[in-house]
Amino acid sequence: WNFPLAIFTGQIAAALAMGNAVLAKPAEATSMIAVHAVALMHQAGVPKPCLQLVPGEGAVLGPVLCSAPNISGVCFTGSTATAQSINRVMAENLPPHAPLIAETGGLNAMIVDSTALLEQAVQDVIVSAFQSAGQRCSALRMLYVQSDIANEFQRMLFGAMQALVVGPPEAADCDVGPVIDAATKDRILTHISRHTLLFQTSAPSEGHFVAPTVLSLRGIGDLREEVFGPVLHLARFGAEDLDQVIDDINACGYCLTFGFHSR
């Protein structure tokens, strides 16, 4: 749902290009965009028997689609838990050679060492952590900053965050829009309340808005799941601990993207 046109049409186009017919099941929250996208593809010449839209609730449709005997493969973008559920259903019902291509979430990390150009690092952190209100599987979740520069880096980061405008996406000055629904907002706010707050901007009280937030953690091991919103977790490290930090990131088993700022 967070890239309701790009990911949806991209997976369809890839499957069609390889000669497959496609049953396209969009996220419930963005079904109308999918209806319009499929209509455009049909209008552009994709034969209707080769592309059928199947909107509905994932919990209801998923097990049916992923266990149908004439399904030869599944492409999925979403949560890790749902991907694992799909994998189990396919293993029980489909031939072993039926592929599951799943892009799921990540506890994505960045390391900023003492030689980094701080202005550049701050800019990249702002873009990666808070663009799309943090609702990207590739968004930065865990930031490690070397202790030598941490105070100066935080001062610059918090100053840059204060310039972010949180509001409706149709506003020309909007930098950070809403999260997808009320339940997600409540889940994110609960997570924030359970950790040490370093900095938070402001957000409109009406609507599903969450203010960009920085929380303090000891390290990525304190995170058990992806927080899909404008929340950044920050930890300090000493130069002698760099190898351990990298080992901790690799050990979490839940990574998708990674960044390293250094000169």
Tokens of 239: 């130069």
- The neighbour count for residue 20, using CB atoms within 10 Å, is 15
CA dihedral (129, 130, 133, 136) positive or negative: negative
HEC-encoded secondary structure of 12-23: HHHHHHCCCCEE
Residue 85 and residue 89: Cα distance in Å, rounded?
Answer: 6
Q: Is 66 tagged catalytic?
A: no
Our answer to whether residue 137 is catalytic in this structure is yes
Catalytic residue among 66, 75, 137, 226: 137
Query: Edge-to-edge, what's the strand order for the sheet holding 258-261?
Result: 196-200, 213-216, 231-237, 140-146, 108-112, 258-261
Beta bridge partners of 232: 214
Q: Which residues of 107-138 are buried (b: 16+ CB within 10 A; e: fewer)?
A: bbbbbbbeebebeebbebbbebbbbbbbbbbe
Catalytic member of 103, 174, 252, 255: 103
Based on its alpha-carbon atoms, the radius of gyration of the chain, rounded to whole angstroms, reads 21
Q: Which residues are catalytic?
A: 103, 137
